[in-house]
Structure 1
Amino acid sequence: MLILPKLRLPFDSMEDLVQTNIPTYVSDGTMLHQAMMEAPPDSLLGRLRAQSVSYLDIPRAIRELMEGHHASFTGRVVSQSVIHMIFEQTKSCPLYTAKETFWGGTSVAFAYRRGFPLRSKIDKVLRRLTEFGIPEHLYREQIKNVRKCQMDDFTRPSDALRPLDLGDFYGVFSVYAGGIILSLLVFLTENFLGRRARRTRP
């Protein structure tokens, strides 16, 4: 814990976000935008409506997000895709995602026309793929840069209580290994000089 920098984030949950008055982008016409517009004024989504920014120009939203003009309230898939894309373009991680989610998982499904004859066969194939975790594996392979931008250790508050991880001991291990190597070099040097001195004696 002595070697990891601690960063204080402006917000890490929806409760923190609505207290900061930071402009927040919510894509117009999405389920998130509709729920926000219909939420009671005293709810979290209703309070977010006062600081929300909505339009349909996604490239502009990503550009202004990187420039720090606003935060973004969006789904996990979209946020991870944006982080992956930005890392591919810039080789940097200028964004972070809040660890506390606001909504749970939403279902993803295929739509068939009524009476579609292949529905049962397709459902069986999709169910088997899902049971083996293949769609999740393929998805993670497509956003593999997100793992390089995960900042859990760096954004954890310095006063948070948690179990110690192996990474917390890297500094101690480094000092210990350095001491062992230094003592070994001193021992080898003394041994070499001692033999040389004995050889040169008359």
Structure 2
Amino acid sequence: MMSIVPVLTPDQLGPRNSSNCLRLAVETWFPHLFWVRATSQNAPLTMTGPMIEISKILAKKLNRSCIEYVWSGDGTFFGVRHDNGSWDGLTGLLARNLTEMTGVPITIEHSRLEVVEFSQTLFVDSWNLAYKRPELQSDISGFVKPFTMLLWSLIAAIMIAVFAGLFFVEYRHKKLRTCKWYPSGDSVRLLSGLWLLMALIISTLYRSNLKAMLILPKIVLPFNNIQELVRSDIPLHVAQGSTLSRQIQNSLPGTSLHAIKNYPNQILSSDPLQVFADTLKGRNAVFVEALSILYGLHTTFAARRKCELYLGEEHFSTVVGQTLATPKGSPIKDQIDFIYRDNRSDLHLYA
């Protein structure tokens, strides 16, 4: 069972030299760290996740007696850079030297190098789209699905043409009899025979296609890439203050990410738990690291015994380095790199 630890906000911090604690900037980010549901309104903030165990190993190697987990609480997630060069969010905690390092992996990004330094890369990831997996449901219009609308239109046009031809031939030869359904004359018999042969072929194909649909039904995905998502008008959540959100804003015209930049249903979010719950309900799609999506797939399948999410086939930036960060010029950075190189077996969760 993973440990549960209390989380402080900046206004709850004491002087840096008052203890030997290792101060870590944290943010909820699956599967590394996530909030523990509060039991009461006044309950303290608590977090859990595999990074808690990693931070304990780092604190022990750094000869620290305790760990303080600090959350910015400003709603900007990993941080947004302002025009004056200042940062808020998790990056802001490092820039203002309120914490000594991050307690959760963040993406290596050029703009953050102004205020932080990155340790050795822990692992690489990619960004991907995820949405609720469609389920098979009864379809009252399923009897017309074996053929496309174009084919149904052609069949209707052929029927009209055949009946018009039969009437024209009968009228021209003046051989209409009392029994109108009995074909008379060679031309009428030829047209009737061709129509009956065509009807046999069409009905055979219809029965075959309908049987195939019943035996092996096909699930139609709402989208499989960014272009299809934009055409679907499904709301898309992107993490506030993330590297991906900045890459979308700085994307060039003609690129896939630029299509999201101009997408009116794009939503910047700072509550991963709520976004994940809404994604499972089909209210929105999500665009995040593939590892976070795989964690969601694992947890939902373990709880419900069925796969409720699907991933788009298109991957973006397949080499997204994830690492820990320290304030600019911090002496702890070299120590972290040495600990990581020397203790890969202990840090096996991300090695």
Band of TM-score, shorter chain = 0.5 to 0.7
Report the equivalent of 1:114: 331
More strand by share: 2
Q: Is the 8 A contact 2:279 2:286 kept in 1?
A: yes
Query: Is there any run of 5+ residues in structure 2 with no aligned partner, and where?
Result: 1-211
Where do residues 38-53 of structure 1 align in structure 2 (5 Å cutoff)? Answer: 38-49=250-261, 50=263, 51-53=265-267
Distance 1:110 1:25, change over 3 A: closer
Residue from 283, 296, 304 that aligns with 1:82: 296
Length-normalised TM-score, structure 2: 0.33
C-alpha distance in 2 between matches for 1:118 and 1:9:
44
Checking the alignment, whether the CA contact within 8 Å between 1:14 and 1:102 is kept in structure 2 is no
Which 5+ residue runs of structure 1 have no aligned equivalent? 139-202
Shift of 1:87: 2.0
Which of 97, 103, 106 does residue 311 from structure 2 map onto? 97
> Are residues 119 and 24 of structure 1, via their aligned partners in 2, closer, same or farther at CA, if it must alter by over 3 Å?
closer
What is the total number of aligned residue pairs between the two structures? 132
Q: Any conservation in 2 of the 1:26–1:54 contact (CA below 8 Å)?
A: yes
Instruction: Spell out the pairing of 1:127-166 with structure 2 (5 A cutoff).
Output: 135=349
The residue that corresponds to 1:15 in the other structure is 227
After superposition, the Cα gap between the structure-2 partners of 1:122 and 1:9, relative to the gap in structure 1 and judged at 3 Å, is: same
Question: Normalized per residue, which structure has more helix?
Answer: 1
Shift of residue 135, structure 1, vs aligned partner: 4.8
Whether 2:272 is the aligned partner of 1:58: answer yes
**Stretches (4+) displaced over 6 A:** none
Give distance in 1, aligned partners of 2:284 and 2:339: 45
Map of 2:118 onto structure 1:
none
CA distance in 2, matches of 1:95, 1:66: 7
Displacement of 1:110 in angstroms is 4.0
- Compare CA radii of gyration and give the structure with the larger one: 2
Work out the percentage of aligned pairs sharing the same amino acid.
21
* Distance in 1 between residues matched to 2:322 and 2:346, nearest whole Å: 14
CA distance in 1, matches of 2:296, 2:288: 11
1:117 and 1:38 map into 2 onto residues whose CA distance is: 34
Per-residue CA distance 1:72-130 (angstroms, 9 max, x = gap): 1111011111111222333222211112212212123344643735734531443x899
Which residue of structure 2 lines up, in the alignment, with residue 67 of structure 1? Answer: 281
